[in-house]
Amino acid sequence: MKSTIVAVINQKGGTGKTTTTINLGSALAKEGKKVLLLDLDPQSNLSYSLAVTAPEATLADVFLGNQSLKDILVEKDGLWIAPGSNDLVDIEISLVSQPEREKFLKNMLADVKGFDYVLIDCPPSLSVLTLNALTAAQEVLIPLQMEVLTLQGLDQIMNTVNKVKKAFNPKLKIKGIVVVMFDIRRKLSQEVLEYLRENVKEKIFDSHIRLNVKLAEAPSFGKSVINYDASSNGAKDYMALGKEFLNAH
Ligand SMILES: Nc1ncnc2c1ncn2[C@@H]1O[C@H](COP(=O)(O)OP(=O)(O)OP(=O)(O)O)[C@@H](O)[C@H]1O
Ligand SMILES: [Mg+2]
């Protein structure tokens, strides 16, 4: 079985990448899929949010060649996690001067088998780590907040994806845009969404993720929102997204 590798990217900070990686991953696992989450962000928010706080080894060790990816995986609540580390900052710096620097993650993933989905939580930059994610992935998922500057940010993401496509990964495709932290009562949110629908050719998922405090609370319990409070809007929205994701091509 070949895994579908999905890079969750947005170069802007705090746009719901980590929340989407965890909770979409959790939703896919509830749908019976075997899911691996890669914490490629030196901030390690994903690992902390799932209470993987002192792993024996992390992705940084794998980049250094001291560990193989399959040996560092940690299981939590039916999800598999490749923990991140602040040491990824050093990896990032050292990668810049390496030949074929964009291919490290792709090569690392070659020895991981048996997953339906691998979701990569990227750092808030279009750095060499994100470049590695885009080179390893078949698909890109973009969580987007409905703000005025969203549109400019989206252009930058598309430019980067197109460059990576041309240079390193011709089959890379945009799976879609996920509207996150959506405030239904706010007129601006509706307007930006309408503008996007009219002007962007990429798929915009119908399942919007509403603003929901349970999504912000869940990490302090080390759980996905679905395992923390299955009846919350956050859990319902991500479960709906999971179903739509599985049916989208
Ligand atoms: N739908 C939502 N409703 C309420 N809070 C949310 C929602 N989605 C995310 N948050 C909160 O917003 C903050 C930013 O989200 P998150 O960490 O997922 O973004 P990020 O893009 O991964 O950030 P970074 O760029 O720093 O990695 C977090 O505190 C998270 O709990
Ligand atoms: Mg994050």
Which pLDDT belongs to residue 205? 98
**83 vs 229: CA distance, rounded Å:** 24
Show the tokens assigned to 35.
């899911």
Q: Please, are residues 138 and 6 in contact by the beta-carbon 8 Å criterion?
A: yes
- What phi-psi label fits residue 248: left (phi over 0), alpha (psi between -120 and 50 degrees) or beta? beta
What integer is the mean pLDDT of 73-91?
97
Distance 207 CA to ligand 1 centre (A): 17
Domain that holds residue 113: 4-247
Whole-number pLDDT of residue 60: 97
How far, in Å, from the CA of 17 to the mean position of ligand 2?
5
237 CA: nearest ligand 1 atom: 1
* Residue nearest atom 29 of ligand 1, based on CA coordinates: 216
pLDDT for 151-165, tens place per residue?
Answer: 889 999 999 999 999
Whole-number Å distance between alpha carbons of 201 and 183: 23
Chain mean pLDDT for the chain: 96
pLDDT of residue 151: 87
Least confident interval from 7-11, 147-151, 172-176, 240-244:
147-151
d(CA 108, CA 67): 10
pLDDT at residue number 179: 98
Reading across the β-sheet that carries 35-39, which strands appear in turn?
Answer: 74-76, 79-82, 35-39, 117-121, 4-8, 139-145, 173-180
Ligand 2 centroid to residue 4 C-alpha, Å: 21
Residue nearest to atom 10 of ligand 1 (CA): 216
Question: Which helix H or strand E contains 120, and what residues bound it?
Answer: strand 117-121
For residue 15, give the ligand 1 atom closest to its CA. 21
Number of domains in the chain: 1
Predicted confidence (pLDDT) per residue in 186-226, tens digit? 999 999 999 999 999 999 999 999 999 999 999 999 999 99
Ligand 1 atom nearest to CA at 234: 1
- The mean pLDDT value for 51-61 works out to 96
User: Among 9, 19, 226, 241, which is best to mutate for testing ligand 1, by the most ligand atoms less than 8 A from CB?
Assistant: 19
Give the domain CATH number at 213: 3.40.50.300
- Give the DSSP per-residue string, 144-188: EE--TTHHHHHHHHHHHHHHHHHHT-TT-EEEEEEEESB-TT-HH
What's the whole-model pTM score?
Answer: 0.98
Alpha carbon of 15 to ligand 1 centroid (Å): 6
Using the CB atoms, write b or e for 207-217: b if 16+ within 10 Å: bbbbbbeebee
Q: Where are the alpha helices (DSSP H) in 42-184?
A: 45-49, 59-63, 88-95, 104-109, 128-136, 150-167
Q: How confident is the model at residue 249 (pLDDT cuts 50, 70, 90)?
A: confident
Write down the number of H helices and E strands in the chain: 11, 7
Cβ of 94: how many Cβ atoms within 10 Å? 13
Task: Give the residue from 107, 110, 105 showing the smallest Cα distance to 120.
Answer: 105
**Residue whose CA lies nearest to ligand 1 atom number 28:** 216
DSSP three-state, residue 126: coil
d(CA 69, CA 110): 9
Each residue's pLDDT tens digit, 108-122: 999 899 999 999 999
Q: List pLDDT tens digits, range 85-96.
A: 999 999 999 999
Distance CA 68, CA 48 (A): 22
What percent of the chain clears pLDDT 90, i.e. is strictly above it? Answer: 95
Nearest CA to ligand 1 atom 31: 216
